[in-house]
Structure 1
Amino acid sequence: MRPTPADPEAWNAYLAEGNATQARKRVSADVLLRDEAGRVLLVKPTYKPGWDLPGGMAEANEAPDDAARRELKEELGLDVTLHGLLVVDWVPPHGPWDDQLAFIFDGGTLSPEEADSLSPRDNELADVAFLLHDQAARALNGRLHDRFHAAFTACSGNSSVFLHDGVTT
């Protein structure tokens, strides 16, 4: 017989059993940041090839926006206010990885002082650069290129978009 909320201890044990068997999603949380000239901030990770948007992976039970702010603080020493969600992209399983939800938030425009003081603050980043939109788009590969383009478009249109492996649904 299935427990009911009338027996809170049995009900919570039943819910916990169901929770343990449900799928878990990997979550990434990146931020689109610009300088006063409109250039986009990219970072060069040490643990994978190429350039990336600033941000990273959420920890267990961490909200995506909290993960984005935490990663910016840890890796760049930036404490930013996020100005909204630009993109959610469902990324299917690929290589050794399960599926993922990839978020991009609008980090707004950095002051000249903030932009000039940026440098990697931990061993996960090798470099930072502000690039014009077209340069940034060329520096980003595959899914991230498509996600970046969608985020940039959403930012200028004050909207958000849901992608399915980089493609608008």
Structure 2
Amino acid sequence: MRPAPTDTKAWNAYLAEGNAKQARKRVSADVILRDAHDRILTVNPTYKDGWDLPGGMAEANESPDQAALRELHEELGLTLTLHRLLVVDWVAPHEPWDDQLAFIFDAGTLSPALAATVRPHDDELSEALFLPATEAAARLRPRQRDRLCGALRSLADGRTRYLRNGAEPWQV
């Protein structure tokens, strides 16, 4: 039986039980960060095959934008401001993983002096390179490549994209 909202302790216990039964989503948050030549920063993780965009997984109760900023600081020593959301991609369950929400934010363009200093700052990355968009896309795994292409379209037309497994569901 559902308790009355006026019984604060019982009501909160009831809500907590409902919350515990709800789905949990993994959340990743990456950025597109460019240099003065409009090249895109890509990173080479040491813990998996293939290259990535800078960013990573959100921690418990951490917003996607804060996760992206934290990852930039931890992995590359960069303290930046995000400009806007470019993409939200729902990723279906795959292999051992449950579904996920993947965000890509626009982190702007670094000055030539700052771009020249970008280096990995922890052991999660072995390299960080600014690459032309086509070369950056070629290094990414297919799922992230599709997400990058959606983000580049968002940069070009100013429209935030919702993707489902890397594709715009209304254009499939």
Q: Give TM class, smaller chain.
A: over 0.9
Matches within 5 A, 1:43-122: 43-122=43-122
Q: CA deviation at 1:4?
A: 2.1
Map of 2:134 onto structure 1:
134
When the two chains are superposed, the root-mean-square deviation of aligned CA atoms in Å is 0.6
Structure 2 segments unaligned to the other structure (5+ residues): none
SS state of the match for residue 115, structure 2? helix
SS state of the match for residue 81, structure 2? coil
> Counterpart amino acid of 1:28?
S
SS state of the match for residue 81, structure 1? coil
> Counterpart amino acid of 1:49?
D
> Counterpart amino acid of 1:53?
L
User: Number of residues paired by the alignment?
Assistant: 169
Deviations 1:48-92 (A, max 9, x none): 111100000000000000000000000000011100000000000
> Counterpart amino acid of 1:27?
V
> Counterpart amino acid of 2:54?
P
Map of 1:3 onto structure 2:
3
Map of 2:33 onto structure 1:
33
With structure 2 as the length reference, what TM-score do the two structures score?
Answer: 0.97
Map of 2:168 onto structure 1:
168
Q: Report the Cα distance in structure 1 between the residues aligned to 2:4 and 2:91, rounded to whole angstroms.
A: 36
Identity among equivalent positions (%) equals 62
> Counterpart amino acid of 2:166?
G
Q: CA deviation at 1:110?
A: 0.7
**Where has structure 1 moved over 6 Å in runs of 4 or more?**
none
Q: Report the Cα distance in structure 2 between the residues aligned to 1:4 and 1:167, rounded to whole angstroms.
A: 45
Structure 1 segments unaligned to the other structure (5+ residues): none
